[in-house]
Structure 1
Amino acid sequence: MTSVGRELGGAVLRRLRDAGPQTKTQLAEALGVSRTTLTSAVRVLLDEGHVEDGPLAASSGGRRSTSLRLGSGRVVVALSLGERRVRVAVIDGHLTITAGVSIDLRDRGAAPGTVPEVVQQAVRELLADRRPTAFGCAVAVPGSTLYDEVRDGLADRYPGVAVAALPAVRAMAVGERHSGAARAVDDLLAVRLGNGVTTASVAGGQLAAGDRSHAGQVGHLRVEEFGPACACGRTGCLDSYASGVALVTQAGELARRGRSAGLAAALAGTGELDLADVVAAAQAGDPAVVQLARDAGQRLGQVVAGLVAHTDPRCVVLGGPVAALGGHLLGDVRSTVYRLAPAAQTESLQIVLSEMGERAVLVGAGAEAWDAWIDGLSTLPAAHF
């Protein structure tokens, strides 16, 4: 098959992944090619087992056509390496999670240097009983420091399997657009609130990456000239107000100063607080913690307002562990953005909490794994693809 044919084969696979089963006529129209050209590419994909016959399409008055779908034996493995959990999922050809496992890193006593081993163990545990044929793997991580280490470890462990890595917020954006709060929205802004604040934007259906794929590190934007110290060495950064680490630190101060009885009790019981304690106190209506969440929402809203003015999204989705603060955070993000961003851009703007939670990251990582596998197919010799 020619290089053009290989590219068309890849386009067919992506279309079936994103849109579900399609007839040949639907595929030809969506991809802008003739039915004859498409049939040639599909024949190779059928012979290789990459696609198979799907359900009968709805009748349009004549004989019902058989659709095509991705081969049921094709799956990928997606990993989400969160702040304290490793989540592993098997993702089928339509980006549906068919099986998964979640491992608490604290239960495993995982030091930073052992995380790649924990990841590999999680993959082994998931595949041990099911033994699916995995054709690709992608890992989404909240920070960039473990990208190469985790990806290379998986590549060594599973030779011949396409392995990719991407920031968790980029995976979140893809997952939310595919099946979450921003379903089918071509222009959106994803904001992930974890140990740092990161963003990813989708414009015209395409993820923006930037010159060195470092786009979205907004947690180190200064929102106050003389604010708390940030891990980056500066002061007053957004991370020092709205990240999970900052909120736990501030909650600890509230507990020690007697401002929150609930947090004080949690601190006395365990000797330290974590984000779950802060979220529980907020959900219980603790006035001091509610105000903490609202302050974080206002600071975050300042930055999101600028991003809205620059990217003009139709939807902003807040996700990540800190988003569990819910309405106490969301309300002030909304009011700040609507107050500061240009009115013409906020008139129909939706600002919502993620419906999927960390599942959005897994789905987005699954999409990246499928892309890595499809890209690998498109580089094979013409006789093979």
Structure 2
Amino acid sequence: MRTGLEGELLRILRDAGPQTKNQLADVLGVPRTTLNASLRSLTAAGHIEDGPVAASSGGRRSVTVRIAGARRSLVVSLSRSTAQVAVLHGHLTIAAGVSIDLHDREPDAAWLAETVRRAGQRVLGDEQPAAVGVAVADTEPGIETAVVEGLASTHHGRPLVTVPAVRAMALGERRASGPDGADDFVAVRLGESVTTATVTGGHLGLGAGGRSGEVGHLRVEEFGPACACGLTGCLDSFVSSGALVAQASELVRRGRSPELADILASAGTLDLRDLVDAGRAGDPVVAQVARDLGQRLGRVVAGMVAHSNPRRVVIGGPVAALGMGFLGDLRATVYRLAPPALAEGLEVTLSDQGGRAELIGAAAAAMTRWIEQDF
């Protein structure tokens, strides 16, 4: 008979990795006899196994317990430019993965669904996952639907969850950030749209309708550029990847960057990768666009700091690859405009550039669904 204790054990092992029995008993506050009964049940079901020997604390070294190697999750991080497919161990470490470059390809739902399905089979091998997670950003609805339906068909009966990429990023950052700043932070994802996720007291906020964090269509200037939503002056119309490329292209046409002018003349258009590469080489156009990005985004982030009082603000997504080009201006603007008592000690950092946080967060959501469904 399954108990709530078994589900809690799996959550701890998912989040903390291998643990000794003493550590588990201390965290759960239960007698060893009660703990051992649940551990035996989970072991018999193939959900957990012995892990590595714990570091010595002066006495006999203890064997740890971990989620079994067969209880892995298959995750996909899907955006307009890239599809990342990975398999993660139960304690949320990446075991294997592949990346599918979509930059130069028109959206093709059937092709992408089949490509992702095959990639999933390649990284999994002969095993079925315990659960499947999909993090989604900036894609056409038909693309997302095709990919999810393909995975559901291939892994029929397995728990499957989809989550916005910024929330997956926040879940991954919460695991990666350690004890300092892990429970109270704001994640900002910069891509085709600007989205945010707020973790308060260790809990991810979703909002009354489940759509919190859609700040890209927050109007920041009354008479700004036209936005895809039909309004003008939205945040997206200034700092989304498409807006930044448009700003850079206009400056290039004015003769501000011979290097980018050559690319524009040859290809007929620029993309975000061109800006990232040119920025690393010190291009003046990219430097100006990045400074403007940092200052404009900083004004919005300062308001978020005033509202939620986080310990950290972490910036991710494709545009974050511009990195230090905008981070200094972003920090300076946030520290200048946020209430001083809330800005004191605040960290403003970049997420990892490989998108690992989104993969880890998608796996965390998938494993949560598995635990909730079975325990």
Which category of TM-score, normalised to the shorter sequence, fits these structures?
A: over 0.9
Work out the CA distance in 1 between the residues paired with 2:270 and 2:37.
61
Displacement of 1:301 after TM fit? 0.6
Q: Which amino acid aligns with 2:335?
A: Y
Q: C-alpha deviations, 1:238-279, integer Å up to 9, x for none?
A: 111111010111122122222221221111111111001111
Partner secondary structure for residue 290 of structure 2 = helix
Count, aligned residues: 373
8 Å Cα contact 2:321/2:353 also seen in 1: no
Q: 1:149-202: CA deviations, max 9, x gaps?
A: 533332122112111100001111111221259876211111111111111111
- TM-aligned CA deviation for residue 24 of structure 1: 2.0
Please state if 1:142 is matched with 2:131: no
Matches of 2:53 and 2:319 in 1, distance apart? Answer: 44
| Per-residue deviation, 1:287 | 1.8
CA contact (8 A) 1:182 1:188 kept: no
Which residue identity does 1:317 align to in structure 2? V
- Name the TM-score, length of structure 1 as normaliser: 0.91
**Contact 1:21-1:69 at 8 Å conserved across structures:** yes
Inter-partner Cα distance in structure 1 for 2:334 and 2:230: 27
Shift in Å at residue 40 of structure 1? 1.9
Pairing 1:274–2:271 present? yes
Q: Give, in whole Å, the separation in 2 of the partners of 1:151 and 1:363.
A: 18
Equivalent residue for 1:237, pick from 219, 234, 239: 234
Pairs within 5 Å for 1:39-188: 39-106=36-103, 109-111=106-108, 115-127=112-124, 130-143=125-138, 145=141, 148-179=145-176, 185-188=182-185
Select 2:191's aligned residue among 171, 190, 194. 194
**Aligned partner of residue 73 in structure 2, secondary structure:** strand
TM-score when normalising by structure 2 = 0.93
CA contact (8 A) 2:80 2:138 kept: no
Q: Does the 8 Å CA contact 2:110/2:146 hold for their aligned counterparts?
A: no
SS at match of 2:52: strand
1:62: how far off?
Answer: 4.4
Report deviation, 1:282. 1.9
Q: For 2:69, what is the secondary structure of its paired residue?
A: coil
Return the alpha-carbon distance in structure 2 between the equivalents of residues 112 and 248 of structure 1. Answer: 26
Residue 217 of structure 1 aligns with which residue?
214
AA at the equivalent of 1:347: E
Match of 2:130, SS state, is strand
Aligned to 1:383: none
C-alpha distance in structure 1 between counterparts of 2:255 and 2:285, whole Å:
10
Please report the RMSD computed on the Cα atoms of aligned residues, expressed in angstroms. 2.0
Residues 83-140 of structure 1, C-alpha deviation per residue, up to 9 Å, x if partnerless? 211100010122111111111124554335654344323323433xx32341111000
Q: Is the 8 A contact 2:133 2:365 kept in 1?
A: yes
CA distance in 2, matches of 1:249, 1:84: 17
Percent identical: 55
Shifted more, 52-61 versus 301-310: the winner is: 52-61
- In 2 relative to 1, CA 239–185 (structure 1 residues): closer, same or farther, beyond 3 Å? same
Give how far 1:314 is off: 0.5
Cα deviations across residues 323-353 of structure 1 (Å, max 9, x unaligned)?
Answer: 1111121111111111111000111000011
Amino acid paired to 1:75: R
Change (3 A) 1:184 1:370: farther
